[in-house]
Chain A
Amino acid sequence: MITPTPALELRSIDKRFGSTVALTGASLCVQPGTLHMLLGENGAGKTTLLRIAAGLERPDGGTILLDGAERRWRSRAEAIAGGVGTVEQHFGLVPTMTVAENVALAGPGALTGFSPRRAARTVEEISTRIGLSVDANAVIGDLPVSGQQRVEIIKALAKPPRILILDEPTAVLAPAESLALYEWLRTFVDGGNAAVVITHHVREARANGDAITVLRRGRTVLEAPHRGETEGDVLRAILGEASPGSGLRAGRHAESIASHGDVVLRATAATIADEKGVVRVREASLVVRRGEVLGVAGVEGAGHRELLRALAGRLTPQTGTVEGPDAIGFIPEDRLREALVADFSLTENFILRASGRRRGRIAWRTEAERTARGIAEFDVRGGGPATLAGALSGGNQQRFVLARECDNSPDAVIAESPTRGLDIRASAAALQALRARAAAGAAVVVHSIDIDELLDVADRVIVCRGGQVREVPMRADAIGAALVGVA
């Protein structure tokens, strides 16, 4: 069989942002007439790769080939002219304007000779041509998210592309809407075009795609054009097999023989929505006891984030209840956005915890001493109580947050991806610290994307998937299967 010329090919693409390496030698090969799925965890480089293909970023190295011919996009407009259309994750729509106006705004000559009637006619033409219905005169702000996405697709198709790129289109859609989108994409690629879709969901990728590419840490780790791979293969490619190897497992089994204590955290039929009001967890029930570590597995958007935040008292369930102690240590995934003020001193950052409940005066000298003790206990290096938090390295910032959140022996500690961005040593130290909290009598909940890490640190593991929470056996294959929903 002769392989046709790929519609779009990206070869050994490099991209750095400052000192951060986003892509190193990443590649992607999309055949004409196919729906190509791009998978990878947060920060794997998926969006960056597709932004390069769409002319939104320029690569530091590597080549872009369109139908076998090398291209260098200087702008998104050039890519669109060359036949590459994009639907970004965050919509670029003006909420107070109509569909027709938004489409006209994106088109050529937007600033010269706008006629509302002509714009509406254009939208109707496109929407009949591609078979996506939308009211040209509707105001964007009144449309549901799926409707807004349709408008983005229509915008991308105003100048008919041969390759359509969609960044996590189903993240904002209900299951039925996702189904409709994939049906439409199927007719789109059957017409000889190609589409690239970013998703986090292995199941979704396998069910709808013709080919799969997986990125991990800026590299292409799996290219599977013929569906020869299993779900396990894909999942392993996404998550990687490297484990911090903290050696906790051996020591733990001895202590876990002793039965655990009273219930500290309890969720009863809790339905939890995220900050935007989208329900992420449905009727979850669980208990966490004194002295145990509960591991939580889940791929992005599975609801584990909302579950942990509800347990930590940072989100209130819509229905059902979540009960927990007053003193809860919470270690968020994004340290600098949610845990630390970079230009506050370590002492100031230390007393920040639960400062909403503090009254009266602050005795700085005492607090500085307390901070110094926490710094020593958790081996935070690179500064003392007066050092600015922003001056510490990432690993030491994480140690510092652990020190703060474990201070005063809270009854529960909840950690979101506590090893994210840490090297092997710092990861092991973080997990050991959490284990030590449990040994000291706290209920500990840890989310991690790394299955081996969960097996290392946890006594039991639950898996979040599509808003459902389920306890699974402590085996890598069982967790992996539950993550993708096969078991």
Chain B
Amino acid sequence: MTSGLPRVRGTAAAVFFASIALVAVCIWAAGYDASRAGSAAWNAAFGSPFAFFSGTLKRATPLLTLGIAISVAFRAGVLNIGADGQFLAGAAASVAVALTFSSWPRMVLLPMELLVGACAGAAWAGGAAVLKRRYAVGEVVSTLLLNFVATNLIGYLVRGPLQEPSHSYPQTPQIAPAGRLPILLPGQRLHWGFVIAVAVAIGAWWFFQRTAAGFRMRVVGASPSVAYSAGLIDVGAVQARALIASGAIAGLAGCCEVAGVTYGLYEGLSPGYGYTAIAVALLGGLGAGGVVVSALLFGALAAGADGMQRDAGIPPEFASIAAAMMILGMLIASTVQRARGAAPAPIRSDAGS
């Protein structure tokens, strides 16, 4: 059952390194010192324990959770492009809860934030799920458009009901310490959200490989007609559930970001995490293990981009170019493999049974 895996791994690695090499060429062509850029990026991502824990891993945290959210939907054949909106919905709901019940003890407040965040993400995706199931509205369009709604909703909240008391900045006040996720390692900025992200990844692996419900989602993603005819599976219901579960995980990611990093809500909370997470999920072959690895790589990329800007004066947009190339590369690779009659690369599981 693992015969598809080495192929995906090889392809993903090739795409990753080819993209990095191409970006290095771009940096050089734009007149910057590519080798200095490379060493600055490496140092900022892996150069010290602080770089690794507070740079790479901290930045990988939302991408990992969101990457799993995307892969849950994609494996059921639902193209959830709205993880960004679901992330913001979860973040906004969590902040609202944390501000409203700021006097509650951590043991109660924190779990409630996480729960409400996940529910808000699920509800945000649930809108698209209902549209798809009842009115056959394509989820690509509906989830994408809901992203803009979420962005503007945040804009309204930070200027209206949730704005900080002085009313001078478009942001919420900071949430009380009881509502924050604790720091994982003393002296670092890595928080418990990373543990949650890893737990979500393990849970997703277990769900897809070990449970009947997860198996159903994989069948639906592989072939809706087989799912219906041979499996007697209610394809629409399974896809709706996958989309809602995906939204819940994305909402959880939003909660972890505000409770672990920003401690508040402001516009631009997500620099396109939900879109980057699509690249993370595709590069990881949609399997939990692969998504963990690719989230770490993307975290390193983001930390490295910061370092390049800070230490070598190179615009961070080059990191976005690398991410875009990875998405394109994986799409091209999977199309080529499908055309050659091989198993479609990104949909192949990391099944271990």
Contact = CB atoms under 8 A, between A and B. Distances in A.
B226 A386 contact: no
B222 A341 contact: yes
Contact of A343 (B212, B232, B234, B343): B343
Interface string B311-353: 0000000000000000000000000000000011001100101
Interface in B167-218: 210-212, 215-216, 218
Contacts of A358: 212, 215-216
A355 B226 contact: no
A338 B230 contact: yes
B166 interface: no
A356 B232 contact: yes
**Interface footprint category on B:** 20 to 34
- Max chain A Cβ within 10 angstroms of own Cβ: one of B1, B229, B230: B230
B226 A340 contact: yes
Interface in B70-102: none
A357 B1 CA distance: 23
A347 interface: yes
A429 interface: no
B344 A341 contact: no
A70 B231 CA distance: 53
B226 A337 contact: yes
B232 A354 contact: yes
A360 interface: yes
Contact of B215 (A343, A357, A362, A388): A362
A390 B222 CA distance: 13
Contacts of B216: 355-356, 358
B211 A360 contact: yes
Chain A interface main SS type: mixed
A378 interface: no
B144 interface: no
B223 interface: yes
B259 interface: no
Interface residues of A, number: 33
Nearest to A340: B226
B353 A364 contact: yes
Interface string A440-479: 0000000000000000000000000000000000000000
Contact of B222 (A343, A360, A365): A343
Interface string A337-371: 11111111101100111111111111011001000
A337 B225 contact: yes
Contacts of A381: none
A62 B343 CA distance: 37
B219 A341 contact: yes
Which of A339, A344, A361 neighbours the largest number of chain B CB atoms within 10 Å of its CB?
A344
Given A341-B223, A362-B210, A362-B215, A353 B231 contact: yes
Contacts of A332: 229-230
A348 B230 CA distance: 12
A352 B219 contact: yes
B3 interface: yes
B4 interface: yes
Given A341-B219, A343-B348, A352 B230 contact: yes
B215 A330 contact: no
Contacts of B231: 352-356
A222 B343 CA distance: 42
A355 B353 contact: no
B42 to A, nearest CB: 37
B212, B225, B351 — which one has the most chain A CB atoms within 10 A of its CB?
A: B212
Nearest to B2: A386
B157 interface: no
A352 to B, nearest CB: 5
B233 interface: yes
A356 B211 contact: no
A338 B211 contact: no
A314 B215 contact: no
B163 to A, nearest CB: 45
A90 B225 CA distance: 21
Contacts of B353: 347, 364-365, 368
B229 A314 contact: yes
Contacts of A354: 231-232
Interface string B220-249: 001101111111111000000000000000
Interface in A25-43: none
A344 B222 contact: yes
B230 A330 contact: yes
Contacts of A339: 226, 229-230
A355 B233 CA distance: 7
A360 B215 CA distance: 11
Contact of A351 (B3, B4, B215, B227): B215
Given A343-B222, A362-B210, A356 B234 contact: yes
Nearest to B3: A388
B343 A355 contact: no
A136 B232 CA distance: 45
A361 B214 CA distance: 9
Nearest to A405: B230
A245 to B, nearest CB: 30
B75 to A, nearest CB: 13
B229 A338 contact: yes
Nearest to B341: A390
Nearest to B221: A341
A337 B232 CA distance: 14
Nearest to B235: A356
Contacts of A388: 3-4, 343
Contacts of A364: 210, 353
A337 B344 CA distance: 16
A390 B4 CA distance: 12
Contacts of A359: 212
Nearest to B214: A362
A347 B343 contact: no
A348 B225 contact: no
Contact of B230 (A353, A357, A362, A390): A353
Interface of A: 313-314, 330, 332, 337-345, 347-348, 351-362, 364-365, 368, 386, 388, 390
15 contacts: A337-B223, A338-B229, A339-B229, A339-B230, A341-B222, A343-B4, A343-B222, A344-B219, A345-B1, A352-B231, A353-B230, A355-B231, A359-B212, A362-B212, A368-B353
Interface of B: 1, 3-4, 210-212, 215-216, 218-219, 222-223, 225-234, 343-344, 347-348, 351, 353
Q: Lowest 4 CB-CB distances: which A-B pairs, in order?
A: A364-B353, A358-B212, A356-B233, A343-B343
Given A337-B223, A354-B231, A355-B231, 14 more contacts: A339-B229, A340-B230, A342-B343, A343-B222, A345-B1, A353-B231, A355-B216, A356-B227, A356-B231, A358-B216, A360-B211, A361-B211, A362-B215, A364-B210
